[in-house]
């Protein structure tokens, strides 16, 4: 019997946060030869963090940051390499969208890596600007209405 998968949201500096930070580092930064800076991690303090857990281990995570004017930014979306392509990112994104909508946000946006654009398009996100570079790779700003 496989361990049960659960989605939880948690605060900065919780045990779950530490697991999510390890996953983010492994999936998002190490492949680019980068580490998180202290300034980047300070952004996490006031954010809401989500994780998809299997048993006591984390297999996917993302962060929501309030952006004002009814908008929330989804960032730091990471799915463990060994379980990518199994719908976990989709399930976690849907949970975060529900959470944001229940709290009155009208839209959710992200800076999607160019390689992730098709994933977000399948979830209903639309490109809202020109390609730009972030963490040394191409990205697009994408947004989805939550109403």
Range 5-145: architecture per CATH:
3-Layer(aba) Sandwich (3.40)
Per-residue model confidence (pLDDT) at position 56: 86
Considering the chain, what percentage of its residues have pLDDT values greater than 70? Answer: 99
Where do the structural domains in the chain lie, given as residue ranges?
A: 5-145
Q: What is the DSSP string of 8-25?
A: EEE-TTSHHHHHHHHHHI
Q: Which of 43, 69, 60, 80 is nearest to 9 (CA)?
A: 60
- In this predicted structure, the answer to whether residue 134 has a pLDDT above a threshold of 70 is yes
Average pLDDT for residues 71-89, to the nearest whole number? Answer: 95
- In this predicted structure, the answer to whether residue 2 has a pLDDT above a threshold of 70 is no
Residue 1: pLDDT band (50, 70, 90) is: low
């Amino acid at each position: 019997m496989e361990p049960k998968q659960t989605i939880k949201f948690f605060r900065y500096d919780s045990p779950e946060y530490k697991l999510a930070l390890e996953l983010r580092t492994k999936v998002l930064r190490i492949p680019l030869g980068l580490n998180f800076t202290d300034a980047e991690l300070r952004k996490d303090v006031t954010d809401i963090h989500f994780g998809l857990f299997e048993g006591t281990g984390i297999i996917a995570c993302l962060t929501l940051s309030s952006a004002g004017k009814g908008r929330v930014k989804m960032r730091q979306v990471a799915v463990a390499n060994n379980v990518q392509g199994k719908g976990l990112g989709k399930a976690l994104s849907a949970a975060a969208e529900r959470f944001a909508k229940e709290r009155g946000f009208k839209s959710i946006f992200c800076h999607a890596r160019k390689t992730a654009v098709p994933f977000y398009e399948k979830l209903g996100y639309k490109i809202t600007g020109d390609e730009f570079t972030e963490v040394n790779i191409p990205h697009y700003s994408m947004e989805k209405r939550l109403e």
